[in-house]
Structure 1
Amino acid sequence: MLQHRAKLYQTKQHKTKLGSHLLLSSSLLLMTGQSAFADTGSQTDESANVEQGGWIDGLLENLGADGEYNQDKMIDFSVLPGPFYNPEMSFGVGVSAIGLYQVDKEDQVSQLSTLIINGFASANGALGIAVANKTFLQQDRLRFYVDAVIADAPEVYYGRGYDENRQDDNKVTFDNQQVSLAPSLRKRISAQSFIGIGMDFNYNSADDIDRGQSMVDSSMLVESSRSVGASLLVNYDSRDSVLSPRSGRLVELDSKWYRQEFGSQTDFNVQSLLYSEYLSIGESGDVLAWQVHGRFTQGDVPWDQLSALGGGGLLRGYNSGRYRDEQMLLAQVEYRLNLSGRHGMVFWGGAGGLADNIDKLSADELLPTAGVGYRFEVKPKVNLRLDMGFGNGDSGFYFNVNEAF
């Protein structure tokens, strides 16, 4: 389900969806970049740059974005506000609170736990809040994750499959009321392996449906969707860090079963397969990362639980919600360039496809993507990212916390 939630953090050009506006404005990121790379060609310019850098550093420190972790605080937060505008939501403001903490101060093995809270409100009434929590316990023998969303924001539907999704005239717009909750507990069973159990609850309801000239069947949007399931996860995880890995690999199988006995409206299954690898490049601090990701469904799958491409994590450059079907497979590779100070750049490419059956996934219907991004380290191993992605006939502009994968 992460790929569905990831759409809550993207900003689209002309097709923006809900959560992209949750983070800080580009002006702050650009100011931080200017302070790091300013021209020092004259004494006057140098003095001005020092003064500007001091003002920016002071602002970032007041916001908690100092690149450090204060273990004396219960939760060490950075709070970053920023205005936004897009045609669907009008003017608004978003706030991202990024917190680091340790459950046991004596625990020298566990990574720092994270609590990320993103919220937004716009002039036309769009509202939302998303929470992503990762807690590391008992010398990293246990990991407890929680993802939750409550939102009311614009959504799009183009039907199912490559052919329908490619047609601009198939666009259906609506306001989507969403509530989701996904807690999971993972127990270490070997030096680099975990087994986990969890539950997944999703409720979506569409209002103000505008079909325009669309000829696709969108009748399912009239009825609300409720999906309740149980999950079982097994993985091999040798990454040096969950938040910002520089080496190692993640191999993961996550199976979910949604049943009416649990409270779901329909019965269906979801299997997610993931392989990610991270290679540290010499002493430069650069990282080469690549990933293959598949999501496969069976049964009576509701519209909001179809596999989807696009958004801030899965094939950046496409509008999340436009490309949907039952089966999905993608691959992406990214070079993460380490710059001076707390700055960095990324360059990526990838491709993905979808179909109603696995055997119909075709190289002739691939969706390519490429892009470039900027990184700023807010807290140790916690980055704000600003990405510009380009797809086939689509593009996306994204603010997010941490890497896409």
Structure 2
Amino acid sequence: MKKILLLFLLGLSLNSYSQKKLIDKFFSPDTNRHNSFLPVPVIAYTQEAGFEFGGAGLYSFYLDKTDSLIRPSQLYGLAYTSTKGQSQVSIRSDLWSRGNKWHHLYDARFYNLPFNFYGVGDATLRSNEDKLIQRRFRLNAEVERQLAKSYYPGLGVEFESQSFRDVELGGFYNNTPFFDKDGGNFILFKITQLIDTRNTNIYTTKGFFTRLRYGYAPDFFKQQQFEGTLFTLDSRYFYTPHKKFTIAAQGFMEAVSSKREIPFYMLRQMGNDQIMRGYYMGRYRDENYAAIQAEIRFRPVDRFGLVAFGGTGTVYAKNNFSVNRLKPNYGIGGRFFFDLDKSLALRVDYGFGEKPLGEKRNSGLYISLGESF
């Protein structure tokens, strides 16, 4: 699903008075602790979905402004529809209590999403491109409690329901055997472990972050579905050798296992606006996914920043990882910091990936809110 026009910011309010207030707030030098809200009208175009119309919003706030150490909490919402039937409604929250004793993560999403499918594995061909329609509903909740200075164990539960349909009766997807290819449901019960020494959770300049998630999905629905485990590792490190430069690094891994065959909807997908930028999400998918990346962040003035990034990653089947099959990614980006108190930024990145034999190079433009990691 290549976006010709990925995102166009038309305006930031519906009337001139509120627009002036918002613009004044954006360029104000105020760094006091305050709540902030960024509404972003969204217009995009994709070959598969047509024109997309909707809006996004990021609300950042403190649950207790009297606490000088509390981390900012965030609510992020997105809603849009398109001329060819694509739609998405989602809301995510990242909440920190007084003293950062409790950490809450909640997520609700609904997708009706046409996307391009190329096959399974790390060597799929663009010539196999086939448009599918995915319907996905997701609910997720995780709660973590601080037991030591930087240690947060927790519990979580996730429910997902997915379905897939090939637009073409004789398409590549319909003619290829995949387990549970029409979709399914699962409930995942999770144990989480978080070690977090970051100086801030939004624009980190020093510290270490590692989150482990282990989830088990029992056979609740008594039908062809996913029954097994999902393991996720997300580890990050931040170092600032100079007040205007920050070096950031991340390692990421997802692994699915089951005594049964892995359903199609549980296969891990490489590429998005956060890691392995430059690859279309789902161009490569398999049972496992591993990637690493690093960024050099340069912030010459408070309002603006520049980023150079690079990394490598791949998807692979069980016991089939090979260093020789790692794929590169690299790119540059810019940042506009609209909230100096929390260093909240509008992010624009352009990433490049490998050039498969006989195909054009993988690449992509990303416009989003907040840092990639």
In the superposition, the TM-score normalised over structure 2's length comes to 0.87
CA shift digits 1:256-295 (9 cap, x unpaired): 11112388932111111222101113122x2111111111
Deviation at 1:27, TM superposition (A): 7.2
8 Å Cα contact 1:64/1:78 also seen in 2: no
| CA RMSD of superposed structures (Å) | 2.8
- Name which of 176, 180, 202 aligns with 1:243: 202
1:364 aligned onto 2:324: yes
- Name which of 134, 137, 143 aligns with 2:103: 143
Q: d(CA) in 1 for partners of 2:346 and 2:184?
A: 33
**Alignment match, 1:6:** none
Residue identity in the other structure for 1:385: R
Residue identity in the other structure for 1:297: V
1:399 aligned onto 2:367: yes
SS in 2 for 1:93: strand
Deviation at 1:308, TM superposition (A): 1.5
8 Å Cα contact 1:155/1:174 also seen in 2: yes
Deviation at 1:223, TM superposition (A): 2.1
| Change beyond 3 A, Cα 1:222–1:329 | closer
SS in 2 for 1:139: helix
SS in 2 for 1:61: helix
1:374 aligned onto 2:334: yes
| Change beyond 3 A, Cα 1:364–1:212 | farther
- Name which of 112, 117, 121 aligns with 1:161: 121
SS in 1 for 2:22: helix
Q: d(CA) in 2 for partners of 1:344 and 1:132?
A: 26
Q: d(CA) in 2 for partners of 1:64 and 1:154?
A: 38
Q: Which runs of 5+ in 2 are unaligned?
A: 355-360
| Change beyond 3 A, Cα 1:207–1:60 | farther
Deviation at 1:28, TM superposition (A): 7.3
In the superposition, the TM-score normalised over structure 1's length comes to 0.80
Residue identity in the other structure for 2:41: P
* Number of residue pairs matched by the alignment: 356
Q: d(CA) in 1 for partners of 2:249 and 2:331?
A: 14
Q: How do residues 3-402 of structure 1 correspond to structure 2 at under 5 angstroms? A: 12-13=2-3, 25=8, 59=20, 61=22, 65=26, 76-163=36-123, 165=124, 167-210=125-168, 214=172, 217=176, 219-220=178-179, 223-261=182-220, 265-284=225-244, 286-299=245-258, 300=260, 301-357=262-318, 359-379=319-339, 380-392=342-354, 393-402=361-370
| Change beyond 3 A, Cα 1:364–1:28 | farther
SS in 1 for 2:278: coil
Deviation at 1:170, TM superposition (A): 2.4
- Whose helix proportion is higher, 1 or 2? 1
| Change beyond 3 A, Cα 1:104–1:148 | same
SS in 2 for 1:364: helix
Q: d(CA) in 2 for partners of 1:349 and 1:204?
A: 33
8 Å Cα contact 1:227/1:263 also seen in 2: no
Residue identity in the other structure for 2:367: F
Deviation at 1:211, TM superposition (A): 6.6
Higher RCO (C-alpha 8 Å, min separation 6): 1
| Change beyond 3 A, Cα 1:252–1:262 | farther
Q: Which runs of 5+ in 1 are unaligned?
A: 1-10, 30-54
CA shift digits 1:117-170 (9 cap, x unpaired): 12222222211122121111131100101122112121232222113x2x1122
SS in 2 for 1:198: strand
Q: d(CA) in 1 for partners of 2:33 and 2:249?
A: 33
